[in-house]
Amino acid sequence: MTFWSGQRLSTDGVTQQIVDPFQQDRIDCSAYTLTLGAEAYVTPHFGDNLREGGKQQLAKPELVDIRGVQRTQGGGQVVIPPGQFAFLLTEETVSIPPDAMGFISLKSKPKFGGLINVSGFHVDPGFKGKLIFSVFNAGPTALHFARGEHLFLLWIADLSFKGVKADGRKQHIKTSVGYAEIPNDLVNQIKRENHSLQSLSLRVEKLTTQVNIATAVATALATILGIFAAYAALWPGVKTDKYEVRIEQPIPAIAVPQHTPSSDAQPKLRTNPPKPSGN
Ligand SMILES: Nc1ccn([C@H]2C[C@H](O)[C@@H](COP(=O)(O)OP(=O)(O)OP(=O)(O)O)O2)c(=O)n1
């Protein structure tokens, strides 16, 4: 298996239409640079409205000339928050010859930001279509990408066996047609709130604030009630008509038994009566 060199990409890459549209300045050493295309999908995070979140259509950027250097401007943006998955569609359509295969990867810049390629690393012989990268933001910050941004790399490798079947058809090649957009069934599989560490941390922060406020209010109310109760109990002048107890009837005199010397005398001990004699 031999990997195509940059030189070969610039010649056979064009004649065999490996990538469409093809630009010579996209050859990066022995790889071809692919860009972010018209669609992206990012999984919703805590608090997002699931009905609203869907595939994003990214506007095409314009080419502007800055002192003779062509720069892209105004491409539609996609933001991937930390801890979220995304599908990213390539701008280019890839056509792998039947006797070759492709290898794909993210460029280093998005990787340094924490982006991980989840969806695999190969393109089958005979595959034709746009590529869909499934990625995960494992970094600490939200990652912003614009349509037209150089995000992916493609290498082509020759296969050793170039045989054909008896009926003339090529063997072991991908015959099904690839994607032109991000299919809805892919989106439906992952369209649910994804509780990333960041979103859970925000939620804990929010709950902590609410508990702190509730505790402060409860403490203030308890203090006010305590002060009011103490004030009412200790200050005799503080009475309301509602709580004042009026004593209308005089308290009846209670007869208190008088102490007499006889009543003070010790009670006599009772003695048993003498037993009658036996005769
Ligand atoms: N990030 C990627 C990786 C691969 N592919 C394309 C190129 C592959 O040739 C094709 C099929 O990939 P796999 O063989 O890994 O996938 P499956 O076997 O699941 O799909 P199929 O049933 O089409 O063979 O998908 C893609 O669009 N995006």
pTM above 0.80, yes or no: no
- Tally the C-alpha atoms within 13 A of residue 245's C-alpha that lie toward its C-beta: 3
Radius of gyration, CA atoms only, the chain: 44
Look at ligand 1, atom 7, and give the residue with the nearest C-alpha.
123
Residue 6, number of CB atoms within 10 A of its CB = 14
Asked whether residue 183 falls in the same domain as residue 204, the answer is no
Residue 107, both tokens: 């460029």
Look at ligand 1, atom 8, and give the residue with the nearest C-alpha.
123
Asked whether residue 42 falls in the same domain as residue 168, the answer is yes
Asked whether residue 90 falls in the same domain as residue 220, the answer is no
Task: Say how far apart CA 141 and CA 193 lie, in whole Å.
Answer: 18
Q: Is 239 exposed, middle or buried (0-12, 13-18, 19+ CB in 10 A)?
A: exposed
Closest C-alpha to 22, from 36, 30, 33, 8: 33
Asked whether residue 102 falls in the same domain as residue 220, the answer is no
Asked whether residue 223 falls in the same domain as residue 205, the answer is yes
Number of domains in the chain: 2
Amino acid (one-letter) located at 36: L
The domain that holds 179 is classified in CATH as 2.70.40.10
Look at ligand 1, atom 25, and give the residue with the nearest C-alpha.
123
Residue 40, both tokens: 């992206």
151 C-alpha to ligand 1 centroid (Å): 19
Asked whether residue 43 falls in the same domain as residue 68, the answer is yes
The verdict on residue 244 lying in a domain is no
Most informative mutation of 90, 131, 176 for ligand 1 (most atoms within 8 A of CB): 131
The verdict on residue 227 lying in a domain is yes
Task: Say how far apart CA 152 and CA 200 lie, in whole Å.
Answer: 31
- Per residue of the chain (279 residues), give pLDDT as tens: 799 999 999 999 999 999 999 999 999 999 999 999 999 999 987 666 666 668 999 999 988 898 888 887 888 999 999 999 999 999 999 999 989 999 999 999 999 999 999 998 999 999 999 999 999 999 999 999 999 999 999 999 999 876 666 666 656 888 888 999 999 999 988 877 777 777 778 788 889 999 999 999 999 999 999 999 998 888 766 555 555 555 566 666 666 666 655 555 555 555 556 666 544
Please give the number of the atom of ligand 1 that sits closest to the Cα of 121. Answer: 3
Please give the number of the atom of ligand 1 that sits closest to the Cα of 117. Answer: 1
The verdict on residue 70 lying in a domain is yes
ipTM above 0.90, yes or no: yes
Give the range of the structural domain holding residue 14, as residue numbers without chain letter. Answer: 6-194
CB 78 within 8 A of CB 58: yes
Task: Say how far apart CA 105 and CA 130 lie, in whole Å.
Answer: 14
